[in-house]
Amino acid sequence: MKITDLLKKDGISINASAADQNAVIDALIELHEKVGNLNNASAFKKAILAREEKGSTAIGMGIAVPHAKSFAVANPGLSAMTVPAGVDYKSLDGNPSKLFFMIAAPDTAADTHLEVLSKLMTLLMDQAFASKLIAAKTPEEFLSIIDAKEAEKDKEEAAKKAGSAPAASTTPKKLLGVTACPTGIAHTFMAAEALELKAKEMGLSIKVEKDGSAGAKDVLTASEIAEADAIIIACDKNIDMGRFDGKEVIITSTKEAIHNPEDLINKAVKGETKSYKHTGAIAKASDDSNETVGRKLYKHLMNGVSHMLPFVIGGGILIAIAFLLDDYSIDPSNFGSNTPVAAWFKTIGGVAFGFMLPILAGFIAQSIADRPGLAVGFVGGALASTGATFAAPGGNIPSAFLGALVAGFAAGYIVLFLERICDKLPQALEGIKPVLIYPLCGILVIGLVMCAINPIVGALNAWITGILEGMGTGSIVALGVLLGAMMATDMGGPLNKAAYVFGTAALASQSETGYMIMAAVMVGGMVPPIAIALATIFFKNKFTPAERKSGPVNFIMGLCFITEGAIPFAAADPIRVIPSLMVGSGLAGALSMVFRCTLMAPHGGIFVFPVVGNVAMYLVALLAGSAAGCLMLGILKKKVDD
């Protein structure tokens, strides 16, 4: 694929005029629309503006490269515009921008276009090439300049691979570099090219690893790192620094590499570096101080949710298979494990499900405190699952999903606190911090924290159960609303568990009212995943591409009475998702009571429908509640850009 495969003649505007930055963005988006690259121009503009908020994409030298990776992109492509008079695009060097390329990348797994885009970024570092493009008189001339330069670049690359490229002058210093930016499309490759071009100009040699969106290119080998005298780390995102332990490094940003490559190389050659000591963390070269507190917390939360999701899906589907293969008539109270095959599937699924809370808490902590936080978070999540306290054996009460969230954030900040304290320790103890001090002290402290959290949740659980028991059956409909809504509130947490335990206890009465309570509880727990699945289909613009892909799996989860399938979606946007699901589940519980539906089994979902009393109206209650939850999600959730 060539650059001109992504840039069409109709996507180029020559000698244009624009009043300001916003006018430039609108014009470039219009060019993308003209050649059919977008399926939602408004959403794509939001993605472009969101990228600009993180830092201007005007890299200086009269060039700006606005870009975004978004679901709103139908086909990967480029649009280009020259504005000889210049536009204030908040350039890093303070000068007006005259040459613009807008990159539209789809948010899919297909990244074949990224290599072409990275090549364009490196070509733009040649100021003579950029000047020719600005001076082009027609789109045809613009494209021919790109074709000629690309052919020249390809010839150079082929010569390098063949070993016939002229070698740079030898130097007593062996230099390496790593560049990376959040999107891995533009600045990663421009920073690398700036370092390579300046090194060549100075008669030096440097190999730069580019950590791009399509994966790392020119990866540094262990032997190269071992032999290197200095390494320039120019990154705007987290990278694994463990391989550079003990090496002389310069940690900076892609901005510095693009604009001051000579200064960085001179510092590396003169030995103005620092010896890097790895503490188990994933070091970050960029400065994220401009991020809001809410945004940082959200990123930490989503790191936990994204790692938890495979356990929820894999374990949930295996449990569903267990119900499908089991024989309900053998022992209704043990449904899912009555036959050996069903028990085998349920055991495996249960083990996978058992990792859900430790994974959630562990990776929240890892996002906050990097690798040292992982073990502490895992233990905190496990304690939330087991409910360990100072109580006597048998007195432990799990805090479940809510407790795991608390454990994850607490673990991360506990480790950060320990790191700050340990900064004052002697240098000789540096090596034992990540293997002894952080895990030992961190796990001990998180254990104490969870001993405080679990009893609080236990008291909440007992209080809620008391309220339910006090209601009795005086208001069947109100009880149905309350039980259904509770099942959707924290999905495995104290409210959910209180409602479920109340429902199973009601079975002991062996009365119609008791069976009606259990039916309301189960239908309330089935609604949240189904409502989520429906919403990802009918309100696609309210969910990210990753959420839309995993959404349909929740049909299976919901039908199997696995409410936890909705947890990743609730965790990502609790303020809007949880109330929506509570409305749907509350309605389903109320209708189940109104229709006097009954259930004598404590679990099973759709697989125990043959023994549900008034099953037709039970389905109506399930569908009505799911539709209501879906509609509420469509109303309350905000549109997403990518």
What is the DSSP code string of 11-52?
EEE-S---SSHHHHHHHHHHHHHHTT-BS-HHHHHHHHHHHH
| Sign, CA torsion 24/25/27/32 | positive
Task: For residue 540, count other CB atoms closer than 10 A to its CB.
Answer: 15
Predicted confidence (pLDDT) per residue in 206-222, tens digit: 898 887 655 677 888 88
Predicted confidence (pLDDT) per residue in 173-206, tens digit: 789 999 887 665 667 877 888 888 888 888 888 8
Rg over alpha carbons for the chain, rounded to the nearest Å, is 29
Contacts (Cβ under 8 Å, ≥6 apart) of 187? 59, 121, 179, 181, 236, 254, 255, 258
Measured between alpha carbons, how far is 468 from 472 in angstroms, rounded to an integer? 7
- The fold for domain 3-107+128-162 equals Mannitol-specific EII; Chain A (3.40.930)
DSSP character at residue 112:
T
Distances (CA, A) of 146 to 16, 31, 99, 157, 556: 19, 18, 13, 16, 51
Contacts (Cβ under 8 Å, ≥6 apart) of 590? 477, 480, 481, 484, 520
Query: SS3 for 206?
Result: strand
Which pLDDT score is estimated for 620?
Answer: 95
Predicted confidence (pLDDT) per residue in 144-163, tens digit: 999 898 888 878 777 766 65
DSSP character at residue 219:
P
67 catalytic? Reply is yes
Average pLDDT, stretch 422-434? 75
Measured between alpha carbons, how far is 352 from 318 in angstroms, rounded to an integer? 9
Predicted confidence (pLDDT) per residue in 19-62, tens digit: 889 999 999 999 999 999 898 888 889 888 888 877 778 877 88
307 catalytic? Reply is no
Contacts (Cβ under 8 Å, ≥6 apart) of 541? 40, 43, 639, 640
Predicted confidence (pLDDT) per residue in 263-303, tens digit: 899 888 888 888 887 655 444 444 444 456 766 776 787 77
Query: SS3 for 209?
Result: strand
Q: Where are the domains of the chain?
A: 3-107+128-162, 175-275
DSSP character at residue 286:
S
Burial call 554-576: b when 16+ CB within 10 Å, e when fewer:
bbbbbbbbbbbbbbbbbbbbeeb
| Sign, CA torsion 443/444/449/455 | positive
**Which of 154-158, 316-320, 417-421, 500-504 shows the highest mean pLDDT?**
417-421
Q: Given this chain, do its domains 3-107+128-162 and 175-275 carry the same CATH topology?
A: no
Terminal Cα distance for the chain, rounded = 25
Amino acid identity for residue 561 in this structure: F
Which pLDDT score is estimated for 259?
Answer: 79
User: Which class is domain 175-275?
Assistant: alpha beta
Task: For residue 466, count other CB atoms closer than 10 A to its CB.
Answer: 11
- Catalytic hit among 32, 113, 181, 278: 181
Residues in the chain: 642
What is the per-residue DSSP string for 431-444? GGIIIIIHHHHHHH
92 CA to centre of own chain: 29
- Catalytic hit among 67, 187, 300, 603: 67
